């Protein structure tokens, strides 16, 4: 190749290189920017641990703890029929909840309060010493509750009685004999109701114009006969005798002779077994009582009473709880399925309602912390029970607000007085074991 040609080729190659260098660069896709980092999610504020500010403290339930309730009932001795009647109703109320409350098992402890002051105090001391117990059903007998009142109230407990009827238990005026302390509630009628019903029945329905009474020294019997006698006198009747027997007495002839001195139209003896049947059985031995009508009360409204009293019981009367309606029929069907037969006494509906009111109040005030611990304020529980109003119970309407009985204000009375009646004992009860007897009068 000559030098001229080589020079031309070199010039062309150089020019092409300049053109390539000067050409606009190809558009490059913009580099992807790294995704912006999201701000870290804010953690929810940690829940503060629950602090109990209840005026009388809280019961603290760890996540696996049961809901613990107790009863103080007479479950041994001559009055055990009352306790059996109430215990069965409590167990049915627990069954109705599937054995659980607040998602926890229900633990039920039963203490024997007998039907005495000593028994009530002993049972109260046991219950009050267990800080896991949320509430109590009891007692059956007013004497037991009178003795237990201070201990139960001081422990911050709530107690609901199915069968205490002594008026003084819900009076907070000591000058009037009141023994009420906060935390006490009565689901059954007070003897302000029952005594008035008995007095009106004797005067208006039986036509009695003279009356004698016998009690056994217990708060229940003494106060009930007093209310009945006062109502009888208000209506225009005359009270000819008011006397007493001792618990454990078997020979009633002396007191019956004193009664017979005036041959009263009616004799009212609101006492228990076995003393009541002795009065009935021996009454026919005493001259002057041939035409006296015998009237007992709810302490004798038990299926063993007619048989234990014998033929003299035919034609006598008992005042006591009278419950009716579809809800009660359903309860009786549950009783028959669980225990067989019918309840042995007349206060089971009140025990059932009291247990359910307690359960509802526990559910209403319980607070569960983030770690599963549940707290139940003791004062909050009392307040929730007292707030119970227009409650449709098996025993009828229940209202725990304060009530006025004449000059007295009662606290803790939940019954409205509608579940009362007068029963007549017939040969069917004495000879054939029929129970309960027919109701022949309701207020």
- What distances in angstroms separate CA 206 from CA 127, 150, 232, 287, 295, one per listed residue? 45, 42, 12, 21, 11
Cα 28 → chain centroid: 86
| Whether 184 and 204 share a structural domain | no
161 in a structural domain: yes
Q: What angle do CA 68, 72, 74 make, to 5 degrees?
A: 145
Mean pLDDT score, 156-161:
98
Are 429 and 304 within one domain?
A: yes
Listed in sequence order, the residues at least 6 apart from 231 whose beta carbon sits closer than 8 Å to its beta carbon are 195, 196, 198, 199, 200
Question: What are the backbone dihedrals phi and psi of residue 31, each rounded to the nearest 5 degrees, phi first?
Answer: -65, 135
Quickly state the pLDDT bin for 23 (edges 50, 70, 90). very low
State residue 419's pLDDT score: 85
The pLDDT tens digits of the residues spanning 391-416 come to 999 999 999 999 888 788 899 999 98
pLDDT of residue 22: 39
At a CB cut-off of 8 Å and minimum separation 6, what does 320 contact? 194, 297, 298, 301, 346, 420, 421, 423
Beta-sheet strands, E only, within 370-419: 374-377, 391-393, 396-398, 403-405, 408-410
What pLDDT is stored for residue 33 in this prediction? 56
Read off the pLDDT of residues 165-206 as tens digits, 9 standing for 90 and up. 999 999 988 988 999 999 999 999 989 889 999 999 999 999
Same domain, 296 and 434: yes
* pLDDT of amino acid 409: 87
Q: Where residue 287 sits, what CATH number does that domain have?
A: 3.40.50.2300
**Helices 253-260 & 275-283 angle (0-180, nearest 10):** 50
The four Cα atoms 434, 439, 440, 441 give a dihedral, to 10 degrees, of: 160
Mean pLDDT along residues 27-35: 50
Confidence at residue 306, expressed as pLDDT on a 0 to 100 scale? 96
Looking at the fold, whether 314 and 405 belong to one and the same domain comes out as no
User: Are residues 203 and 310 located together in one domain of the fold?
Assistant: yes
Q: Region 39-68: what's the mean pLDDT?
A: 83
Taking alpha carbons only, the member of 381, 359, 426, 439 closest to residue 95 is 359
More confident residue, 127 or 14: 127
Q: State residue 229's pLDDT score.
A: 98
In a domain, 122, yes or no: yes
51 part of a folded domain: no
**Is residue 199 a part of any domain in this protein?**
yes
Q: Span 274-302, mean pLDDT?
A: 97
Residues 263, 126 share a domain: no
Q: Is the same domain home to 289 and 210? A: yes
Return the minimum-mean-pLDDT range out of 15-24, 165-174, 226-235.
Answer: 15-24
> Do 70 and 133 sit in the same domain of this protein?
yes
Write down the pLDDT at residue 272: 94
Model pTM? Answer: 0.84
> Does one domain contain both 306 and 429?
yes
Count Cα atoms within 13 angstroms, Cβ side, for 331: 26
Pair (245, 369) in one structural domain: no
- pLDDT at position 45 is 54
Is the per-residue pLDDT at 42 higher than 70? no
Concatenating the DSSP letter of every residue in 295-327 gives EE-GGG-STTHHHHH-GGGTT-EEEEE---SHH
Q: Identify the domain containing residue 285 by its residue range.
A: 192-323+423-441
**What local confidence, expressed as pLDDT, does residue 176 receive?**
86
Looking at the chain, the whole-number percentage of residues with pLDDT higher than 70 is 89
Same domain for 182 and 214, yes or no, is no
pLDDT tens, 327-377? 999 999 999 999 999 999 999 999 999 999 999 999 999 999 999 999 999
In a domain? residue 296: yes
pLDDT value at residue 49: 76
Question: Does 22 fall in a domain?
Answer: no
Question: How many domains would you assign to the chain?
Answer: 2
Residue 256 has pLDDT above 70, yes or no: yes
Which three-class secondary structure state does DSSP give residue 120? helix
> Looking at the domain assignment, is residue 87 inside a domain?
yes
Q: What is the pLDDT of residue 40?
A: 59
pLDDT at 319 over 90: yes
273 and 232 within one domain: yes
Q: Is residue 29 part of a domain?
A: no
């Amino acid at each position: 190749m000559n030098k001229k040609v080589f020079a031309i080729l070199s010039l062309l190659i150089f020019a092409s290189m300049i053109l390539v260098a000067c050409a606009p660069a190809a558009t490059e896709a913009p580099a992807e920017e790294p995704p912006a980092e999201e701000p870290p999610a804010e953690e929810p504020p940690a829940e503060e641990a629950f602090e109990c500010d209840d005026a009388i403290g809280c019961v603290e339930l760890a996540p696996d703890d049961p809901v613990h309730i107790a009863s103080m009932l007479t479950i041994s001795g001559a009055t055990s029929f009352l306790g059996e009647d109430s215990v069965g109703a409590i167990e049915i109320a627990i069954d109705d909840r599937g054995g659980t409350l607040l998602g926890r098992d229900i633990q039920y402890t039963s203490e024997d309060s007998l039907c005495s002051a000593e028994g009530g105090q002993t049972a109260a001391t046991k219950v009050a010493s267990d800080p896991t117990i949320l509430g109590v059903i009891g007692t059956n007998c007013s004497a037991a509750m009178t003795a237990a009142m201070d201990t139960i109230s001081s422990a911050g407990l709530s107690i609901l009685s199915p069968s205490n009827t002594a008026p003084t238990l819900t009076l907070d005026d000591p000058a009037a004999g009141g023994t009420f302390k906060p935390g006490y509630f009565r689901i059954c009628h007070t003897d302000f109701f029952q005594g008035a019903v008995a007095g009106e029945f004797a005067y208006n329905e039986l036509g009695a114009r003279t009356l004698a009474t016998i009690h056994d020294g217990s708060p229940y019997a003494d106060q009930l006969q007093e209310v009945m006698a006062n109502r009888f006198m208000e209506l225009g009747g005359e009270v000819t005798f008011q006397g007493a027997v001792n618990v454990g007495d078997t020979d009633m002839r002396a007191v019956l002779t004193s009664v017979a001195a005036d041959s009263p139209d009616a004799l009212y003896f609101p006492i228990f077994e076995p003393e009541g049947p002795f009065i009935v059985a021996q009454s026919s031995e005493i001259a002057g009582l041939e035409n006296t009508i015998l009237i007992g009360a709810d302490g004798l409204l038990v299926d063993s009473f007619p048989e234990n009293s014998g033929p003299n019981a035919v034609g006598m009367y008992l005042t006591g709880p009278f419950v009716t309606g579809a809800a009660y029929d359903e309860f009786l069907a549950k009783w028959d399925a669980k225990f067989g037969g019918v309840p042995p006494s007349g206060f089971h509906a009140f025990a059932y309602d009291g247990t359910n009111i307690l359960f509802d109040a526990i559910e209403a005030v319980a607070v569960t912390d983030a770690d599963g611990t549940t707290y139940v304020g003791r004062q909050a529980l009392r307040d929730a029970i007292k707030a119970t109003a227009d409650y449709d119970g098996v025993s009828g309407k229940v209202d725990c607000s304060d009530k006025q009985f004449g000059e007295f204000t009662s606290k803790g009375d939940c019954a409205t007085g509608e579940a009362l009646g007068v029963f007549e004992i017939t040969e069917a009860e004495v000879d054939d074991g029929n129970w309960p007897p027919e109701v022949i009068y309701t207020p």
